[in-house]
């Protein structure tokens, strides 16, 4: 299956960066596997920005699109993208009509973060470094999780760090290496030491060992700014060099000829992989990070034993090839296919199965005096619903079923259809509504157990206000795990404080092809009918689901403050009695 994939990186494409190298290599590997891949990135190069503007004007994005000047990533949530950049991003996502939008390093407020919030399709997020996780407010983290369908990390350490802020199940993938570009050539007596501020003790140890290795040279490779570098003794200056290794061409030229590579503790995983792909024997004995003085001894041993160098170099290349960009692309394909399998087939253009039935207005979520926070009398509810022109209502009291049964009995012989239901509180994952129930379901079970209890009664699983973060709700990962069991997702609840919560539910339902529900969540009579569906008349749960395929959400909002004040007044009267 060929996919249209969009990678979004927050780092300037015009400058070398480890994350961008991952994106470039992975994109190329995915293209070789038959996918169409576009990379969206900022840039500091005027020619890139001009090319990006022309691509948006033509409506043909191509492989690389620069959509704005680089915006510095921040560890706070106070940075915002310029309006023009946001507009260009929205235009690019609309033009591309991508199957997957993949944001890399979205833990910072940045282009990647914005793209995942903007995307209307399936999404994935890859975290690279534990140091690039924003200190965002809880609602912002929750909003991002609600939009992301697959979470990935390039190491187990990063996955653990990311999971503390963005909870979910992570897939660990390699940072990737190009095993064709980085390959061994004729080796010479060259030792490459990764130069970092934290690895200065390792470098000093190797410098001391170099005094007894007269035929060998040493190069210190810098992949980032180094604040502390060991002094080079005058007697070794003709054999010791310092080189920048920020660009892949420089690293390839250096590592291809090197025989030994000495990594720095906590150094670059990419440099380590590329050294392995080039067949460099690694000088990293167990305990090196705790005892850096062992580095010199490890180097001396490799210098003395050419056979050991060759064997370790071959093993390092084998491990590196297992982490190639082709392997990354293969893993991403599996992730994308797994996410896509959650989506239900589109029903666009399908015939109306109940086309001969008349249209009614249905409110699928409301309460009676049987709920602890409501005082609506079932008889008054039936009379009021008919007076409002409703054709169907679902009575879904909190953790009790008596109100639904009483309302069903009171509506017998009328045109009003009453669906018996219950809004069940789970242990820690919000609430689940069961429709067309026969008996009460106990509260306090897990989300899965509650769904199973509804299924045992051949009821309908209806998830109310799934993104109302003012209350306890299922986590996005819980919703995704149970997508195949959710019959209806409430995309409009008239009692929500923020309309954006309804918008998120609608986006989620559209993304996965879920049937949409709507309800007033009324706790006072005046609220009944403020959130409804226009749907075909139905008889029983099977026809109910068929009718939902062609249903339309109707919003009839009333002042939430007004409705809430009526609820409080009613509760006070109840207490006085």
Pair 13, 38: CB distance under 8 Å: no
Distance CA 99, CA 442 (A): 41
* 129: helix, strand or coil: coil
β-pair type (488-493, 460-463): parallel
pLDDT on residue 548 = 96
Q: Domain spanning 359-576: which CATH class is it, in words?
A: alpha beta
pLDDT on residue 558 = 59
pLDDT tens digits, 6-55: 999 999 998 889 999 999 999 999 999 999 999 999 998 889 889 999 99
Task: Name the CATH architecture for the domain at 4-176+325-340.
Answer: 3-Layer(aba) Sandwich (3.40)
pLDDT on residue 75 = 45
Distance CA 452, CA 410 (A): 29
How high is the mean pLDDT in each 10-residue block of the chain (577 residues)?
A: 93 92 97 96 90 91 85 52 87 94 90 92 94 70 87 95 90 95 92 88 90 93 72 89 91 94 90 95 69 86 94 95 96 95 72 88 97 93 96 98 97 96 96 98 97 97 94 90 95 93 94 95 93 96 96 77 52 50
For 190-321, CATH number out of 3.30.70.370, 3.40.50.1580, 3.40.50.2000, 3.90.550.10 equals 3.40.50.2000
Which residues of 128-195 form beta strands (DSSP E)?
150-153, 170-172, 190-195
pLDDT on residue 77 = 45
Q: What share of the chain is helix, strand, coil (3-state, %, to 5)?
A: 40, 20, 40
Which regions of the chain carry the CATH code 3.20.20.140? 359-576
Which regions of the chain carry the CATH code 3.40.50.2000? 4-176+325-340, 190-321
pLDDT on residue 562 = 46
């Amino acid at each position: 299956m060929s996919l249209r994939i969009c990678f979004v990186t927050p780092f300037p494409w015009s400058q070398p960066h480890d994350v961008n190298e991952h994106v470039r290599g992975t994109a190329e590997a995915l293209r070789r596997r038959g996918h169409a891949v576009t990379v969206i990135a900022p840039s500091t190069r005027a020619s890139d920005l001009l090319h990006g503007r022309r691509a948006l004007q033509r409506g043909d994005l191509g492989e690389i699109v620069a959509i704005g000047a680089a915006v510095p990533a921040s560890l706070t949530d106070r940075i915002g993208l310029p309006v023009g950049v946001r507009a260009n991003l929205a235009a690019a996502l609309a033009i591309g009509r991508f199957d997957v939008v993949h944001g890399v390093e979205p833990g910072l407020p940045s282009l990647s973060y914005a793209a995942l919030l903007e995307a209307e399709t399936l999404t994935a997020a890859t975290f690279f470094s534990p140091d690039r996780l924003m200190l965002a407010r809880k609602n912002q983290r929750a909003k991002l999780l609600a939009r992301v369908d697959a979470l990935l990390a390039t190491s187990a350490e990063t996955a653990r760090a990311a999971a503390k802020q963005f909870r979910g199940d992570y897939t660990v993938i390699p940072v990737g290496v190009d095993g064709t570009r980085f390959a061994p050539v004729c080796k010479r007596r060259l030792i490459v030491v990764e130069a970092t501020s934290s690895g200065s003790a390792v470098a000093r140890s190797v410098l001391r060992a170099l005094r007894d290795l007269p035929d060998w040279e040493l190069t210190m490779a810098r992949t980032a700014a180094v604040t502390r570098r060991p002094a080079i003794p005058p007697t070794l200056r003709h054999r010791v060099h310092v080189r920048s290794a920020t660009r892949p061409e420089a690293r390839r030229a250096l590592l291809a000829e090197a025989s030994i590579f000495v990594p720095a503790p906590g150094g670059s995983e990419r440099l380590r992989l590329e050294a392995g792909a080039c067949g460099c024997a690694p000088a990293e004995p167990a305990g090196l990070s705790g005892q850096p003085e062992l580095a010199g001894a490890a180097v001396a041993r490799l210098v003395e034993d050419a056979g050991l160098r060759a064997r370790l170099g071959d093993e390092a290349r084998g491990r590196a090839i297992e982490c190639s960009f082709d392997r990354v692309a293969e893993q991403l394909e599996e992730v994308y296919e797994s996410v896509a399998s959650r989506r239900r087939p589109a029903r666009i253009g399908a015939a109306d199965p109940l086309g001969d039935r008349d249209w009614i207005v249905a409110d699928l979520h409301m309460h009676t005096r049987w709920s602890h926070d409501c005082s609506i009398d079932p008889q008054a509810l039936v009379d009021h619903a008919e007076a409002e022109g409703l054709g169907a209502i679902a009575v879904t009291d909190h953790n009790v079923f008596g109100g639904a049964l009483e309302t069903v009995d009171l509506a017998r012989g009328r045109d009003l259809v009453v669906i018996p239901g219950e809004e069940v509180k789970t242990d820690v994952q919000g609430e689940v509504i069961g429709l067309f129930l026969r008996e009460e379901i106990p509260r306090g079970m897990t989300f899965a157990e509650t769904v199973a209890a509804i299924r045992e009664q051949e009821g309908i699983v209806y998830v109310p206000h799934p993104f109302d973060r003012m209350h306890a709700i299922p986590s996005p990962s819980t919703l995704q795990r149970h997508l195949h069991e959710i019959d209806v997702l409430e995309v409009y609840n008239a009692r929500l404080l923020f309309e954006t919560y309804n918008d998120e539910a609608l986006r989620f339902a559209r993304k996965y092809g879920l049937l949409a529900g709507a309800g007033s969540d009324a706790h006072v009579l005046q609220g009944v009918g403020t959130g409804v569906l226009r749907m075909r008349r139905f008889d029983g749960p099977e026809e109910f689901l068929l009718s939902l395929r062609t249903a339309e959400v109707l919003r009839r909002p009333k002042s939430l403050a007004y409705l809430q004040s009526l609820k409080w007044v009613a509760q006070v009267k109840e207490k006085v009695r």
